[in-house]
A = this chain, B = another copy of it.
Amino acid sequence: MQATYDNIADMAKPLPKDMSHHFSDATKARIPSKTKEFYKFFQIPGIGQLAGGLPNAHLFPFDTLEAQIAQPNRWTPSSNRPGADDEVLSSKMTPISISGSTTASHVVVPHDAPTSDVMRKIDLASALQYGQADGYPPLRSFIRQFARDCLHPNVPYRGGPEVIFTVGSTDGMSKALEVFTNIWIEGKNDIRDRPGMVTEIFMYSNVLSQAQPRGVQVVPIEMDEEGMAPHGPGSLEDVLANWDDSKGKRPHFMYTVTMGHNPTSGVLSLERRKEIYSVCSKYDVVIVEDDPYWYLQYPSAEVEEAKARNLPIPEPKPANTLEKKSGYPFLDSLAPSFLAVDVDGRVVRLDTFSKTVAPGCRMGWVTASPEICERILRVSESGTQQPSGFAQVVIAETIMGPQSEASAAFAGRSAKDKTTFAGWKMDGWVRWLAGLRGVYERRMVRMCKILEENAYQLKQSTPMRDADSDWGVITKTKLYDFQWPRGGMFLWLHMRFETHPLWKAAGSKGNVIDGTILSTALMIFLTHKPYLVLVSPGLMFSATPQIREERGWAYYRICFAAETEENIDSCSLRFAEGVQRFWRIKNVKEIESLLGEAGSEQAEEDMTGLVNMGSWMGC
């Protein structure tokens, strides 16, 4: 019944629009695969396979692949609606039906699973063989269902989105750039052909090193604590409406992080998404939405921030008011993707296993219209092919478990192996994500509290010269301010260098001690004992050199995810103490000596080198 209703409802939706005019020349030149027409020959039962160049699976050196894996309930979740009813565990999520130990299960991927159904076959013979570029069939089918039914049940175009695997979101973005932008070379190509990419003024810098060699012009859009600004000065609409063609093609491509923005930590509301989408529709812009931190949304941030600042506690309001629910209160409590408002089929969403499982998976997926996914598939076939079978099969086995009664017996070599472990399933997967959110949310709160308490420097000023008495006044200097992160892994600190005693002082070479100098000096100062912490300067996250010069120096990004649990408090304190001490530096020479440690006199220029560090820092 539901299916019938859904089908009728689906038929009433518009088809996604043709987006092929956005494709790059090379993408247009790719020939559609005729694989399907010949696939039938491969499917003939019992056919002797002399055609393909597959090595024999019997000769792989692995007889099993095994792992001790966490139970999905290893970590305690946090509340979906702090202050309201606690919806942490939904009826759908309890009880977690994992047998055996509460800490870990042993999973075994056998060499050969006793089923011929490729959607249920999870074994080394299939996973370690050449495979399909869109993903390992059982795992892709799980992720496709998860994406369509749980993450994005409200996609407004007919048939809904497709899913294709990538080797991580950096690869996803690289493919999106290849599909949607031509390479443009200065001095060789017409400036009016130069492709443009709109993005937030502060951004994940690795994307810059992806765009730059293609000659893509990065066009920064103003943002607030929530994310990109749709209207107003410097906003998306402002930039597109007043585009000057003599500086390049009007951008038709947006890169955006919308859930736990990197580096600014905002989460884009549904209302804001509608406004931005409407501008993109008007100016025909493709939206590439990159959200590795989507499940790390922190409803407690607003509440705890208000408490810490003695402000009125805000009413909890739902982030997702869309009609269709996933059935998982945790997922339904999160801000939805741009896909939820994607009437035209212009949204390309990048997801990754890097933060939900581990970066070493090198595995992620794109969710987009079938037309766009097909183009990405063609790119994958002639480049990365599929993600690693090792990663795909271990994660498939972890989530899906042995796919038949026979499997356990088959794989079973010992009592331990004969566990009745049945995989996390969708419930376990969601529960795992909710647990991770809990861990990171608690870390975030602890770090914010410590930084909140140390944001001011209290100083007794010297008595006024013309006063009789020797009493001074207590001055309160603000060292930094910040919004408690609404999502993600980072605090974005606005450093108030203009309150530093040496602000705009004269340097020893007649130069002025400016924000960039103070930012770099403090970063280095903090790496000294006893502070001994490394932070990322905002210079690294500035979309353009101009933003870097004008505003990038005023920020630090601080990550609460990487350090060990027990170090969070001490690192936060050491940071705060280092900042306090830095504000007591009164000698320009001390600042200049810190800069010397950067390995060059031109500290600022060196700092721009940091932009290239993004890929291996995973930031």
**A interface residues (Cβ-Cβ under 8 A, vs B):** 25-27, 29-31, 33-35, 37-38, 40-42, 44, 46-70, 74-75, 104, 124, 127-133, 167-168, 170-171, 174, 182-183, 185, 188, 206, 209-210, 212-215, 262, 354-355, 357-363, 378, 381-394, 398, 432, 436, 439, 489-490, 524, 527, 532-536, 557-565, 567, 570-571, 574-575, 598-600, 606, 608-610, 612-613, 615-619
Contact = CB atoms under 8 A, between A and B. Distances in A.
A340 to B, nearest CB: 26
A29 B212 contact: yes
Given A54-B561, A69-B63, A533-B48, A362 B381 contact: no
Contact of A358 (B29, B62, B167, B215): B62
Contacts of A26: 183, 185, 213-215
Contacts of A40: 599
A362 B213 CA distance: 26
Contacts of A213: 26-27, 29-30, 378, 382
So how many copies of this chain end up in the complex?
2
Contacts of A53: 262, 489-490, 559, 561-562, 617-619
Contacts of A52: 536, 559, 562, 617-619
Contacts of A600: 37
B55 A130 contact: no
Contact of A534 (B50, B174, B182, B564): B50
A433 B52 CA distance: 22
A386 B127 CA distance: 19
A387 B388 contact: yes
Contacts of A563: 48-50, 56
A258 to B, nearest CB: 16
A34 B612 contact: yes
Identify the 3 closest CB pairs spanning chains A and B, nearest first: A360-B389, A34-B609, A388-B388
Nearest to A263: B53
A388 B360 contact: yes
Given A52-B619, A562-B52, A574-B48, A388 B390 contact: yes
7 contacts: A38-B610, A58-B565, A59-B439, A61-B398, A167-B385, A385-B615, A388-B391
Given A130-B617, A360-B389, A615-B385, A29 B185 contact: yes
